[in-house]
Amino acid sequence: MKKNKANRIRRNLILTFLLVLLVPSFTIGFVTYRDAKGTIEDEILRSASLSVDTANEFINDTLQSKLYDLDYFSGKLKSVGIDTELAAQGTTTVQSLKEYLQLHPETVEVFVATEEGGFIKASEGKLAQGYDHKQSGWYQQAMNAAGKPIITAPYTSKAGSLIVITMAKMLPDGRGVVGVDLNLHSIRDLVQVKVGKEGYTFVLDQDGKYLFHPDYEAGADALAEGDWVSKLYEKPAGEISYQHDGMDKRLSYITNEQTGWVIAGTMLVKEVEDSVYGIRNTMILVLLVSLLAASVLITWNVRSIIKPIRQLREATEVISEGDLTYHLKDFKRDEVGELAGHFQQMVDSLREMVHGVKSMTENVSASSEQLSASALQNTSAVEHVTSSIQEVAAGSESQLLAAEEILKRIHQVSRHADDIAGVLVKVAGAMDQTEQLALNGNKTVITAAATMQDMDMAMNDLNGVIQQLSERTEEIGGIAAAITDIAKQTSLLSLNASIEAARAGEQGKGFAVVAAEIRKLAQRSETSAAYITGLITNVLDNVGQTIQVMESAKEKVSDGVDSADLTGRSFSRIMKAIHSVSGQVKTTSDQAKELAEGTTAARIAVEEIREISEQTSSQTQTISAASEEQLASMEEVTASAADLSQLAEELQEMVKRFKI
């Protein structure tokens, strides 16, 4: 196991040195390889971009020179002159066009066409029968361009061997077009260049067809190669990565502004990897040489560290067996040597300490035996004190319980005394109110008795008045009877007068009228007298009833006077009784208050007794607990003394193991 630990240290050191060496080396190599690869890739792409820009500039220069030529011809030629020359079969314009064609071999044809149907070209070939230049695309585009030059899409010549474009411009008078057919093969060698070792440039027209490509014919459909072709038309310039024929490629492209052609330079990604192949191999070789040299240095360093550690391990094995007489030697003057020196000092100090411990254990053993005997004596005394204190604590608790019970009873008596005092105060107040009410009632009864006497006197007076009224009514009845008799006699006299008037004839008619009126008056008097007689009869009946009621009321008023007198005497007796009870209630209330005050004082005294009992009980409990703790401590001291004695013996046995 120890050998495995030593080997583990050596293995850790070797791994540490290797990591310190290899990680930076591999990191530097990887970063260098990556940067070199990126630099070479950027250089090749920059070369491709430069080739693309050069090709684009050459195409622009070629097209621009032809546009200058078109400007020259459009300014020189007139449609009227062309038509006139054709009619006269002149050759001036044809000769100029032929001279231009001879001076510019990249030009396939130069021509001029008019609105009247005239057409002049530089070449000798004849036009197809029925050819109408006005139906041609280049003519219509030029006429619709309002004086600006146009460039047609590339197309195959009639001979089928050339790819050409037509550049045309409307004449200033707007009645004709001048044009040039440009052979694109003339600029192919200048546009197609190599990019890197295996890369190349190629050109696509605005319809996605190849114009120049080392592997495809002009006019071949490039869009069928994959989606990467359509990406070239999404932006005017840029870089993309794609796969072609199973190989990874990168390309840089630009779009020609005048024609809409895409000019691209492509390269193989593998070409970049091949370029950095030498750098990678050199880096691997350097790492292998560095690893070999480092292995030698690591082995030497590990051996210089492990050897003294093994010597220290052997020394610790000997000392661990108890031999403190061992001495370390043959160590170098380095950090491990200093460690060995300090280790030897530690062994020497340990030897001296063991010698001192051996002497001390003998003294500790003797002292522990004496301590054990003293602890036993103290334990017995503490047990006796603890028993006495527990008895005192039990008595204090009984006294405390009795004081609490007395305090509860006094609390109850105090509450009842307070309740009685409160009730008596309320009763005294009620008795005072009752006494006042009785006094008021007595006064009311006296007033009522006086009133009843006044009513009795008034009833007597009223009875006399009613008697007089009855007498006067009877007298009126007699008068009414007399009036009735008078009316009857008057009626009889008027009847006699009427008879006498009838006897008198004409002289008695006036007297007859008077007699008739007297008879009517007598009848009315008799009727009124009868009515008065009826009224007097009713009045006499009512007066009789009134006299009866007055007699009954007089008797009741007399009874009321007697009752009021009796009630007054009763109220006087009630007032005396209430006054006596009120005095007794006040006396009882004062006594109840004194009882409540006495119970309060008793409660305070009992509470003081309870507090003293609680303090006594608490103190006795504290003393009891302290005694128990003291007893437990003495028992622990006894046990500790026994343990100390045993430990001293064991320590003596352990010290005997060391060789000093």
- Confidence class for position 564, pLDDT limits 50, 70, 90: low
534, pLDDT greater than 70? yes
pTM, two decimals, is 0.41
Rounded-to-integer distance, Cα 352 and Cα 658, Å: 11
List, for residues 372-407, the tens digit of each pLDDT value.
666 666 666 656 656 666 665 565 666 566 556 666
Name, in order, each residue with C-beta under 8 angstroms of 578's C-beta and a sequence gap of 6 or more. Answer: 431, 434, 435, 438
Q: Which two tokens stand for residue 646?
A: 């045993």
- Rounded average pLDDT over 52-70: 88
CATH number of the domain located at residue range(s) 19-279 in this protein: 3.30.450.20
**Residue-level pLDDT at 187:** 80
Beta strands in 546-593 (DSSP E): none
Residues carrying CATH 1.10.287.950, the chain: 356-653
Rounded-to-integer distance, Cα 172 and Cα 580, Å: 153
Phi, psi of 629, rounded to the nearest 5 degrees = -65, -40
Residues carrying CATH 3.30.450.20, the chain: 19-279
Query: How large a percentage of the chain has pLDDT more than 90?
Result: 4
User: Mean pLDDT over all residues of the chain?
Assistant: 75
* Most confident by average pLDDT, 248-252, 352-356, 502-506: 248-252
Name, in order, each residue with C-beta under 8 angstroms of 26's C-beta and a sequence gap of 6 or more. Answer: 287
Q: What DSSP state is assigned to residue 323?
A: B
**Residue-level pLDDT at 339:** 73
- Confidence class for position 434, pLDDT limits 50, 70, 90: low
List, for residues 627-656, the tens digit of each pLDDT value.
677 667 667 767 776 776 677 676 666 666
Rounded-to-integer distance, Cα 12 and Cα 451, Å: 137
Mention the CATH class of domain 356-653. Answer: mainly alpha
- Confidence class for position 1, pLDDT limits 50, 70, 90: very low
User: For residue 464, how many C-alpha atoms fall within 13 Å in the half-sphere facing its CB?
Assistant: 5
DSSP character string of 12-56:
HHHHHHHHHHHHHHHHHHHHHHHHHHHHHHHHHHHHHHHHHHHHH
5, pLDDT greater than 60? no
